[in-house]
Structure 1
Amino acid sequence: MTSKGPKPMAIDQAQPQPADAAPVRHGHGGWVLGMLCCVYVLNFLDRQLVSILAKPIQDSLHITDSQLGYVTGFYFALFYCFIAIPIGWLADRSNRVKILSLACALWSGATVACGLAGSYGQLAAARMAVGIGEAGGVPPSYAIISDSFPRERRGTAMGIFNLGPPIGSALGVAFGASLAAAYDWRVPFYVVGTIGVLTALVVYFFVPEPVRGRFDQGPGADAAPEPSFAQAIVGFFNNKILAVAALASGAANFITYGLANFATLFLMREKGMTLDEVAIWYALAVGLGMGTGIFVSGKLIDRYAVRSKAAYATIPAWSLLLALPFFLGFVAADRWELALPLLFVPLFLNSFFLPATVTFIQSEVAPGARVISGALLLLVMNLVGLGLGPTFVGMASDFFRPAYGEHSLRMAFYALAPMYLIAAFLFLWLARLIKRSSSADAASA
């Protein structure tokens, strides 16, 4: 799937490989995927701990909803998004596994620092450091998976890899809330950070670096020169289909992070849940809802995208439209026992876009541009979603507080609802662009 004209992200498939690059042997793909998923679990667990423990952190450090939105959203995303681009460019030209392991060690150490914070400023600085480390986590993983699995299995592989966020969120809720309830809100940061450093060592020494493009060789594959850093960025955004895919994913991520980063606080403040109840019931809802949703999405992509590439866009569009009424029901419910089952449906449907967009973009660009393409996707997706989503909800809650008091967060969630329609429209636009490009390619052929 390309737009008219030369493919902007094509590169020389015969480029030099890292000295320790090797084909992933049969049966080892599962080991590689499992370890990458484990790292992603820690990536997301570290990222979500502040949101999960928002209530005790607010009580301890005396921070407002707006400050919470900044520290879980904008401040984190500012470093996470922009540093991912040079890291992605470097990873396309070096050992992706070693970069991933070093990044994991960095963000895990910064997670420990979050637990040591004694003020809002110290917590914000530690979160920025977490963002710097996590910038080197996901883009290299996308490329490693794409070079470990053939095209017809990538949707499922990406779906399994993207179980990292729901598993990480569920474990964060379960163990984070349990440890905080039993000891102190700082303890989960110490425990999770230490586990992350140990995991980084396992990845560094035991995960193989795959050969770039081993499943993507074809006639004329080595005809295009390798792009420079600037050419790679310009080429991505000059491709209208890739740019719209990234923007649509950003709009969907705006919902995902706006909801996720305040859901625990909302359930405790307005629905009457305790930390112990959050650790059990909300953890189950997140783990089962998001986990099954992402896995089912990957399966649907593998099944329907071979018939029409537009499925990469239509499946996320319809999932968002179906989720909207259940989200509104969750916000309106007066008890957590009713709100949580309603929330389960958006948790299942909200993340359908993730395997679809990632698989689409990784399949559209040349093997040597996969890491930076993943980084550019995450730049848009997380700058819009992670950077603005929680910030918007937090600021909206403080804006509504004079008129609605303790129900201000409910009104902020209502203000979030129109983003479902905006994101669905962008994905339908993407589907139209894909169909038009497919028709043009068929006509030229």
Structure 2
Amino acid sequence: MDASTTLSPEGRDARALRRRGWTLALLTTAYFFSFMDRQILSILLESIKADLKLSDTQLGLLSGLVFALFYATLGLPIARLADRSSRSNIIAISLAFWSVMTAVCGLAQNFVQLMFARIGVGIGEAGFGPPSQSIIADLYPPEKRASAMAIYSLGVLLGGGLGIVIGGFVAHSYGWRVAMMVVGLPGVALAIIMKLFVVEPRRGLSDGPAATPIADQPAVSLWQGIGEMWRNRAAFHLVAAITVTSLIGYAVTGWGPSYMQRSLGMSMLDVSKYVALPAAFVAGGSALLGGWLCDRAAKRHGIFAQSYVVAIMKIVAFPFALAFYFVDDLWLALGSYFVAAIFAGAYIGPTYAMIQHLAPLRLRSTWAALTLLATSLLGLGLGPFIVGQVSDILRPTYGAESLRWAMFSVAMLTPLGIFHYWRAGVLMRRANV
């Protein structure tokens, strides 16, 4: 159905740019489904725990490490394939597979079966992020890339929040198994739409005439790509920054609903109605605001300023994030949570945009996958698992409040993420980026 193969190179470029808004919208929608399928588990943990008789450590494995091991490690070979072949085809196939496996989670009768279904979700989602970021970087020039990536990141924030809302309402009425199927199966239809309509742009299309044509760039092996990223110290600090931030974020999103139920006395339905949906839109607004501020800062000072903007927003959010774990009054605690959420989503789009800006054209998907490897194994993999493990360890001492202190201990890593954003900005400024 795609008639781009009959067009001249100039015609294909014009068509890709003309339809880039639709492409960005579809990629954002697919990202929404990705995080909805991934994060629905958080609102269902208490129901799954009671039904399958699991420990917090097992729940932490299911929501983090089990998923992340396959999600991250398979991301690299798929990204290498995406740097050489059709990214839009890879995205459509991946979306269909993880959607089916999310529905299969609802059929699990024990920990092992649920674990293998979650592995399937991770395998499918491994093929989405890197090629999507690469396509967006080719469709939008550097001065607009942070805003485009911020729009794309709405999939994370709205998908995670609405996954909790939908999962909570459906599980309340029909059980956690039906909730898994309800959020999973619609992704198959979206995969067909993605296959038909997502544009595959020329690599480097929006980087201007100064960019070296992709055909003139030598082939680069995976290890050379890793070495180039390691030697680019600004990229290294950006990856470190987003990894630390992701670890904290996944711990909060993975265990936040359980914490609200155990320590703040909320029901699963209350968390869905009064917290998840408003928080999703607040964080989505934060993402758009962060992208807009970062693009303005980049136009005025340079790309390096985007890293400073993210660091400042995280500094403002930090005390409110801590207050969420120390305030016993429900409404004050939720107020602190929402103030922190205003700034929570600002880092995603600008960080992805800066990494794509620093990456060589032939390595954009690979560098995105390396970032995914770090944020998934250390962030998604360890964040929920560490909280679950620490909660079990502290349970004899703190009882039902063990989860509160486990989540607080992870939140205290925030200054480390702020440091890495500041350092990345310093290095990019020295390099005149």
Are residues 1:358 and 2:349 paired? no
Are residues 1:332 and 2:323 paired? no
Describe the superposition over 1:390-423 as per-residue Cα deviations: whole angstroms up to 9, x where unpaired: 1111111111100000000111122123211111
Taking the aligned partners of 2:16 and 2:302, their CA distance within structure 1 comes to 31
Q: Which runs of 4+ in 1 moved over 4 A?
A: 17-21
Q: Could you tell me how far 1:237 is from its partner in structure 2?
A: 2.0
Q: Could you tell me how far 1:96 is from its partner in structure 2?
A: 0.3
Gaps of 5+ in 2: none
Please say if residues 250 and 383 of structure 1, whose CA atoms lie closer than 8 Å, have aligned partners that are also in contact. Answer: no
Taking the aligned partners of 1:141 and 1:19, their CA distance within structure 2 comes to 24
1:79-90 paired onto structure 2 within 5 Å: 79-90=70-81
Taking the aligned partners of 1:177 and 1:238, their CA distance within structure 2 comes to 45
Taking the aligned partners of 1:191 and 1:284, their CA distance within structure 2 comes to 18
Counterpart of 1:397 in structure 2 is: 391
For residue 95 of structure 1, the aligned residue among 86, 108, 118 is 86
Q: Could you tell me how far 1:276 is from its partner in structure 2?
A: 1.9
Q: Which structure has more helix as a fraction of its residues?
A: 2
- Partner AA of 1:195 in structure 2: P
For residue 57 of structure 1, the aligned residue among 48, 62, 73 is 48
Counterpart of 1:221 in structure 2 is: 212
Taking the aligned partners of 1:213 and 1:379, their CA distance within structure 2 comes to 24
Q: Could you tell me how far 1:217 is from its partner in structure 2?
A: 4.2
- Partner AA of 1:181 in structure 2: H
Are residues 1:44 and 2:38 paired? no
- Partner AA of 1:191 in structure 2: V
Counterpart of 1:13 in structure 2 is: none
Taking the aligned partners of 2:269 and 2:344, their CA distance within structure 1 comes to 26
SS in 2 for 1:53: helix
More deviation in 259-268 or 218-227?
218-227
Q: Could you tell me how far 1:25 is from its partner in structure 2?
A: 4.5
Please say if residues 98 and 124 of structure 2, whose CA atoms lie closer than 8 Å, have aligned partners that are also in contact. Answer: yes
Counterpart of 2:274 in structure 1 is: 281
Q: Could you tell me how far 1:73 is from its partner in structure 2?
A: 0.9
Q: What is the identity percentage for the equivalent residue pairs of Structure 1 and Structure 2?
A: 36
Q: Could you tell me how far 1:346 is from its partner in structure 2?
A: 2.0
Counterpart of 1:127 in structure 2 is: 118
For residue 364 of structure 2, the aligned residue among 366, 370, 385 is 370
Q: Could you tell me how far 1:284 is from its partner in structure 2?
A: 2.5
Are residues 1:237 and 2:230 paired? yes
Counterpart of 1:10 in structure 2 is: none
Taking the aligned partners of 2:79 and 2:310, their CA distance within structure 1 comes to 26
Q: Could you tell me how far 1:304 is from its partner in structure 2?
A: 0.2
1:175-186 paired onto structure 2 within 5 Å: 175-186=166-177
SS in 1 for 2:325: helix
1:16-165 paired onto structure 2 within 5 Å: 22-23=12-13, 24-25=15-16, 27-165=18-156
Are residues 1:247 and 2:240 paired? yes
Please say if residues 401 and 407 of structure 1, whose CA atoms lie closer than 8 Å, have aligned partners that are also in contact. Answer: yes
Q: Could you tell me how far 1:83 is from its partner in structure 2?
A: 0.6
Describe the superposition over 1:22-63 as per-residue Cα deviations: whole angstroms up to 9, x where unpaired: 334454221111110110000000110111211111111111
SS in 2 for 1:226: coil
Counterpart of 2:341 in structure 1 is: 347
TM-score scaled by length of structure 1: 0.91
Describe the superposition over 1:256-300 as per-residue Cα deviations: whole angstroms up to 9, x where unpaired: 111110000011111111122122111233212211111111101
C-alpha RMSD of the superposition: 1.8
Please say if residues 171 and 178 of structure 2, whose CA atoms lie closer than 8 Å, have aligned partners that are also in contact. Answer: yes
Taking the aligned partners of 1:26 and 1:110, their CA distance within structure 2 comes to 34
Describe the superposition over 1:304-352 as per-residue Cα deviations: whole angstroms up to 9, x where unpaired: 0221332222122222221121112111222433322210122222232
Describe the superposition over 1:222-264 as per-residue Cα deviations: whole angstroms up to 9, x where unpaired: 4541212332222222222211110111011111111110000
Counterpart of 1:201 in structure 2 is: 192
Counterpart of 1:7 in structure 2 is: none
- Partner AA of 1:369 in structure 2: L
Describe the superposition over 1:373-398 as per-residue Cα deviations: whole angstroms up to 9, x where unpaired: 11111111222211111111111111
Are residues 1:303 and 2:303 paired? no
SS in 2 for 1:118: coil
Gaps of 5+ in 1: 1-16
